[in-house]
Amino acid sequence: MAFIVGEAGEYSWPITFKVPPASGAKTQWETHSMTFRFKEMTQDRFNEIYEISQADAGQPNPSFDWSELCREVVVGWTPNGKVYLDTDGSPAEFSDVNLESLIGLHCMIASTIGGQWLDCVLQRQEGKAKNSGGRPFTG
């Protein structure tokens, strides 16, 4: 596939997150998975996000705004009728409003999506470095 100057690509990646049960019962948390579409970004922007999101010794920065990261990188999802539903019970289509609603459901949803996105990019870069004879990925 050729790169087209001035166009940012997109890619899909499954995200798994845990949330408290909807009933509020004190039982095990529910595990959900959805496939999200993320926009590609420049290496410089990724490095900036990564640095801001980390505190000392590679630990997450507690003041980092994961919701803002989701707004920047999430550009879609595959509707899943078992995970995220509209009020009428149909699978929720992607929209800015539905993204806000999803990341607002529980404080851990945005950090999980954002954290797994960071891991995804790092894994993709490691794979590209391995496939390039061990040279780090720089673009």
Give domain status of residue 94, yes or no.
yes
pTM: 0.77
CB contact at 8 A, 111 and 69: no
Give domain status of residue 76, yes or no.
yes
Give domain status of residue 115, yes or no.
yes
**∠ CA(126), CA(128), CA(129), 5° rounding?**
65
**∠ CA(35), CA(38), CA(44), 5° rounding?**
150
At 89, list the tokens. 């019970």
Q: What is the secondary structure of 40-106 as a DSSP string?
A: ---HHHHHHHHHHHB-GGGPBPTT--HHHHHHHHEEEE---TTT-B-TTSSBPPP-HHHHHHHHHS-
Beta-bridge partners for 12: 37
Instruction: Look up the domain containing 61 and give its range.
Output: 12-18+29-131
User: What's the whole-number average pLDDT of the chain?
Assistant: 79
Backbone angles phi, psi at 108, to 5 degrees: -90, -10
The amino acid sitting at 6 is G
**Number of Cα atoms under 13 Å in the Cβ half of residue 8:** 11
pLDDT bracket for residue 90 (50, 70, 90): confident
CB contact at 8 A, 73 and 117: yes
CB contact at 8 A, 73 and 46: no
Give domain status of residue 4, yes or no.
no
Give domain status of residue 62, yes or no.
yes
The answer on pLDDT for 138 being more than 60 is no
Range name among 30-39, 56-65, 79-88 with the lowest pLDDT average: 79-88
Give domain status of residue 79, yes or no.
yes
The answer on pLDDT for 137 being more than 50 is no
Give domain status of residue 6, yes or no.
no
Question: Based on the structure, what is the number of domains in the chain?
Answer: 1
pLDDT at 67: 95
Give domain status of residue 23, yes or no.
no
At 124, list the tokens. 């993709």
